[in-house]
Amino acid sequence: MKRKSKLIISILGMLLLASCTTAPLTGRKQLKLVSDESVARDSVESYRQFINEASSKNLLANDTADGRRLKEIGGRISRAVEKYMNENGMSKKVNSLNWEFNLIKSNEMNAFAMPGGKIAFFTGIMPVLKTDGGIAFVMGHEIGHVIGGHHAEGKSNRLTAGVVMIGKGVVDVLTGGATEAISNDLIGQGLQIGLLKFNRTQEYEADKYGMIFMAMAGYNPEEAIKVQERMAEKGSGKGSDFLSTHPSSDKRIQALKDFLPEAMKYYRK
């Protein structure tokens, strides 16, 4: 029985190892059981449903001054992203980006980007971002999750969680319940904590992308630090760094400051 359980664990391990890729910016190892392209196809459909619903409820604010501003900044950032990708061995993925920018009427202080180049900002975040540079950083950050492959990585991690739970169940049977002392609930909670949609490592990577993209688009990356300071004042990012999908404000601001010299190399006034 022990030999069978070891064999199953070894097979699972080999499958996961074979699915590892390298993050473009930092070089860290990523688990990719699904492709960025497949995630993009699914995301575009979800985004379209979201925008159609917002439109039916008269929640689109694209014809406002902020809506036009968002689209203009989006044009500059998207060109910078494509330039960066073409210069860094990702030119094949440029064709999968069909850019779209929408501003949604909501008090929520948030924004997101989905694979396929689909961007949405909520009006609630605009007063905090304040400047064009602030908008450019957050947009670059959200697009950074896409370029960094974080959506596919997150989906792969969730699939892995399921595989691990199935694998444990099989081993329980083969070993006559010898592993039942390890609570399934505890494993599930641990996996949920360790495999969050965007974990702290991914958030730091997205911040770096955000600074690079805004700099390439002609926005001073120093504004990224000011934006995060304003977000901290509003209460975003405060609290414990433990079990959080985002780094604490102090750590995040310091990381932005540390990366600023590198980002300035891309700055085009």
Question: Is position 108 annotated as part of the catalytic site?
Answer: no
> Phi and psi of 58, rounded to 5°?
60, 45
Gap between the Cα atoms of 139 and 146, Å rounded: 11
Gap between the Cα atoms of 154 and 114, Å rounded: 13
Gap between the Cα atoms of 153 and 131, Å rounded: 32
Question: Which is catalytic among the residues 45, 108, 142, 222?
Answer: 142
Pairing of strands 118-122, 100-104: parallel
- Would the CA dihedral through 145, 255, 232, 245 be positive or negative? positive
> Which residue stretches of the chain are H helix?
2-18, 36-56, 65-87, 91-94, 126-129, 132-147, 150-174, 184-194, 200-216, 222-233, 249-264
Radius of gyration (Cα) for the chain, nearest Å?
21
CA-wise closest residue to 4 among 258, 191, 176: 176
Gap between the Cα atoms of 71 and 93, Å rounded: 22
Residue 135's CB is within 10 A of a number of other CB atoms, namely 26
Does residue 37 contact residue 117 with C-beta atoms inside 8 Å?
A: no
Active site residues: 142
